[in-house]
Amino acid sequence: MFDIIIQNLAQDWPLTVGFTLCGAILLKLTTVVLKLKAKSEHDEKLLVALSKELALLSSSTVGMGQRMVQLQAKLDELQSNQSEMNDSEAQFAYTQALRLLEQGADSSTVAANSGLSKSEIQLMQLVHGQRDTA
């Protein structure tokens, strides 16, 4: 009986070799497909994680932009207030200098008390028709 099997194998060896090769190729293809499937699943998870991270960064950027707009508006307001304060301080200095001149103070005294220069005081005296008493 063993002889019959060997005879049949000897006659059908090309067929046996073909089936063996087909089996090996099928096994290799199955391995490659499984590896590709695992890689695809890994890539899909990575894509989801990256998408979440991108969404987080985008929302952070939008929040930062809104904060910068608020800060710019606040800065503009503060600059305007500072400008108004500077204008009112300068106006106060001129008003104070004029009062001192009207009270008869000399230009050196007015300059020392008002923060204005002696030249500015002399110009005010010329404009308002007053003479320096010193």
Phi and psi angles of residue 12, each rounded to the nearest 5 degrees, phi first: -105, 20
Closest C-alpha among 25, 27, 7, 28 to residue 17? 25
Q: For residue range 13-64, list pLDDT tens digits in order.
A: 677 778 788 889 999 999 999 999 999 999 999 999 999 999 988 888 888 8
Higher pLDDT, 132 or 109: 109
pTM summary value = 0.41
**Residue owning tokens 């010329």:** 126
